Amino acid sequence: AGDGDSTTWIDLRRILHEVDPAAEWRQAYDEAGRLIRAYFWDPGMCGIDWDAVLEQYRPLLERVASPDEFADLLREVLGELGTSHAYV
Query: CA–CA separation, 81 vs 78, rounded Å?
Result: 6
pLDDT at position 74:
96
Q: Count up the domains in the chain and report the number.
A: 1
Give backbone dihedrals phi and psi of 59, rounded to 5 degrees, phi first.
-60, -25
Note the pLDDT tens digit of each residue in 39-84: 999 999 999 999 999 999 999 999 999 999 999 999 999 999 988 7
Note the pLDDT tens digit of each residue in 13-51: 888 889 999 999 999 999 999 999 999 999 999 999 999
* pTM for the predicted model, two decimal places: 0.78
The answer to whether 75 and 53 have CB atoms below 8 angstroms apart is: no
48 found inside a domain: yes
Q: Quick one: pLDDT band at residue 9, thresholds 50, 70, 90?
A: confident
CATH number of the domain bearing residue 59: 3.30.750
10 found inside a domain: no
46 found inside a domain: yes
Query: CA–CA separation, 84 vs 63, rounded Å?
Result: 27
Closest among 52, 46, 59 to 33, alpha carbons compared: 52
Residues written for the chain: 88
Q: 63 is in which domain, residue-wise?
A: 20-79
86 found inside a domain: no
7 found inside a domain: no
